[in-house]
Amino acid sequence: MIRCPSHTPTRRQVIAAGAGFAGLMLAPSAQATPQEMEKAILAFTGGVKPKEGRVTVDIPVLLESGASVPTKVSVQSAMQGDDFVTSLAVFNEKNPQPNVAVFHFSARSGQAAVQTRIRLGDSQKIVAIAKMRDGSYYMGAIEVIVTLPACAEDA
């Protein structure tokens, strides 16, 4: 015969459950913040503030789902001399990590453009930073609205 425990919780069980719930409520968020994104950008640029322009971030502004978002980033560059993109980084402000990806270019790249898919956990700002051969940095950004976050589908 199998014995079932009493359905009435003890005082200790209620206190332990309440403490566990309070711990979950006080736990740090699983999302990056705009401040963390700014720190990640400054780490990429070595503290240099990027100039606005030359970088285009092409993502649909309104997304039904953040699970697999088509993302294109391009930089206006001749890809010669000092007007040469050496790397391109993509950042977001509300996913678990602010760093999305870093792409590196060589003389054989032909153009400074990438296409990929990213997951977005919420409506947020996406920023792309281009590092030029002469040490300058340029940026482009876009605000996107996500109606169904990527992580909601995993639940």
- Is residue 52 assigned to a domain? yes
- Is residue 8 assigned to a domain? no
Give burial (CB, 10 Å; 0-12/13-18/19+) of 95: buried
Tell me the whole-structure pTM to 2 decimals.
0.76
- Is residue 126 assigned to a domain? yes
Within the chain, where are the H helices? 11-26, 34-45
Residue-wise pLDDT tens digits, 25-63: 444 445 778 899 999 999 999 999 999 999 999 999 999
Q: Residue 106 carries which side chain, given as an amino acid letter?
A: S
- Is residue 133 assigned to a domain? yes
68: domain range?
34-154
In this prediction, residue 54 carries a pLDDT of 97
